[in-house]
A and B are shown apart, each in its own frame.
Chain A
């Protein structure tokens, strides 16, 4: 019987088209839900910038802290930029996948159409990328207005932050698609991302950490994002170091995407 099976051509429009349709669907859904997320994605980071960067920073600067010649605001703003991207990216990776597979099951609806699982994931990550782009540009513009950036290279910092955010979005999508309840996600946000936010060089130089913790912080993706953003913001880019940061973040994005595709295939094509 299979011998009779004619090979059919794939449906006319290509993969890129179908991924774009998934992106368009995400955007349409966002139009209905953006109010609920506007504080967490725009206002909170800016409050942080104000309270920690400007107000606390003033105290820190008066103590004459050694931050490689930067004021505390100049030091912390690019760190907050990367950390904001981490939070946005992690959220965009985790919760839409939970909703799509379990809460609303919209991914199951998509799985019955010609859309393939990698196209679905590409659309979801493209949407995360777009949200990250808007979030980081807005944040960077506010930081620039406060005088946090000293180099024109700072214009590239949002791009670095977007990469950092995606390096969280893809692995969290993989986790979301693999776990059986959102409890695991809550755990990750509380016990992995929050400590990372506090300890990965966002607020103080890594050398201030206890010796044993320093190499751990070095290994976190957030530190690579922070270091990349900070070097751009200050116009002090070491090409080799930047290459390591970008490579690390890209590798994490790729690994996350591969694992997420597999986990989604397992859920949607069982």
Chain B
């Protein structure tokens, strides 16, 4: 569906996307995981045929966005990072107006809009104005809007950023349903749980480059240990972390906590106590993509 080789994006002198390679195949959910400024949106906008590339090659549906932008956009569904619904119009009108830009007959758009409103659970709001809707409802409406042309490929740029946990789960659930129906999804996120929940395959992006690639499981297996012991210290207590060297396989000292990668969490906790280190709190958990990112880049995903 999408193939990129050496793909780059430049803003003035600044290389926002630096020669990335990736391929998305039909039916999968593919993710770009990375912190703010990694170049995720820039990459998505190039795939969406709204932003010209600075270098490299890119094919979407086998077409070149530089030559066939409108034909590519005809077959895409786009959920942008920043909502751009028509606030003055009603929920239904937003879908209707948008669908008409794809050249679909009014009758068909009306039928689809109705179905999609049910799909995103906004049917009761059909004739309400968009402006007063909650953030989660707007996001779901944007997803419905992106589906109005029955796209072969859907691009979702940070679909749940800024939503409360309940609204996030509602969005995930809809995306999961789409995935089951075989819609190809490409999404960006800086939430590791989102990537783990939804993505079959993902690339980890940092400063315009792809630094790792694989399924969430593969990445965790390749880059980090099975479990993580998290130690929190009272303010100013981080100095004690020095004495933890060698206690687990990998020790990361962050501003507010110390993370120890290990294959046996309980044994590591015992070892920590044996060294006389007394943290305020101790937590043993499974490793996540967050730990993968940390081990590759030495930084956290969300600051």
Contacts and interface: CB of A to CB of B under 8 A. Distances in A.
A2 B80 contact: no
Interface stretch (A7-15, A37-45, A78-86, A240-248): A7-15
B84 A105 contact: yes
A114 B102 contact: yes
Interface of B: 3, 5, 11, 48, 50-52, 57, 59, 61-64, 67-74, 76, 78, 80, 82-89, 93, 97-98, 100-103, 129, 145, 149
A115 B69 CA distance: 10
* Residue among B78, B85, B101, B149 with most chain A CB within 10 A: B101
B97 A11 contact: no
Contact of B59 (A1, A10, A21): A1
B71 A9 contact: yes
A108 B71 contact: no
Interface in A125-171: none
Nearest to A4: B62
A265 B236 CA distance: 52
B73 A5 contact: no
Interface string A19-59: 00110110011001100000000000000000000000000
A114 B80 contact: no
7 closest Cβ contacts across the A-B interface?
Answer: A105-B84, A8-B71, A13-B103, A113-B101, A112-B78, A114-B70, A109-B84
B50 A111 contact: yes
B219 to A, nearest CB: 27
Interface in A70-122: 104-106, 108-116
Given A1-B59, A13-B103, 4 more contacts: A5-B67, A22-B101, A28-B97, A113-B101
Given A5-B59, A6-B63, A29-B89, A21 B84 contact: no
Contacts of A217: none
B102 A104 contact: no
Contacts of A4: 59, 62
B82 A1 contact: no
Contacts of B87: 104
Contact of B88 (A1, A2, A32, A113): A32
Given A4-B62, A6-B63, A28-B93, A108 B51 contact: no
Contacts of B83: 105
Contacts of B86: 25, 29, 104, 106, 109
Contacts, number: 105
B103 A109 contact: no
Interface residues of A, number: 37
Nearest to A18: B101
Contact of B70 (A7, A10, A28, A109): A10
A208 interface: no
Contact of A11 (B11, B57, B102, B129): B102
A269 B52 contact: yes
A193 interface: no
Most chain A CB inside 10 Å of its own CB: which residue of B50, B67, B69, B86:
B86
A268 B50 contact: yes
A12 B75 CA distance: 12
A17 interface: yes
Given A11-B103, A18-B103, A5 B63 contact: yes
Nearest to B155: A112
B1 to A, nearest CB: 14
B73 A114 contact: yes
B120 to A, nearest CB: 17
Contact of A108 (B3, B76, B80, B88): B80
11 contacts: A4-B62, A5-B63, A6-B62, A7-B63, A8-B61, A11-B70, A11-B71, A11-B74, A25-B100, A109-B98, A270-B11
Contacts of B73: 112-114
Nearest to B83: A105
A130 B145 CA distance: 28
Contacts of B57: 1-2
Contacts of A5: 59, 62-64, 67-68
Contacts of A116: 69-70
Contacts of B72: 8
A105 B82 contact: yes
Nearest to A116: B70
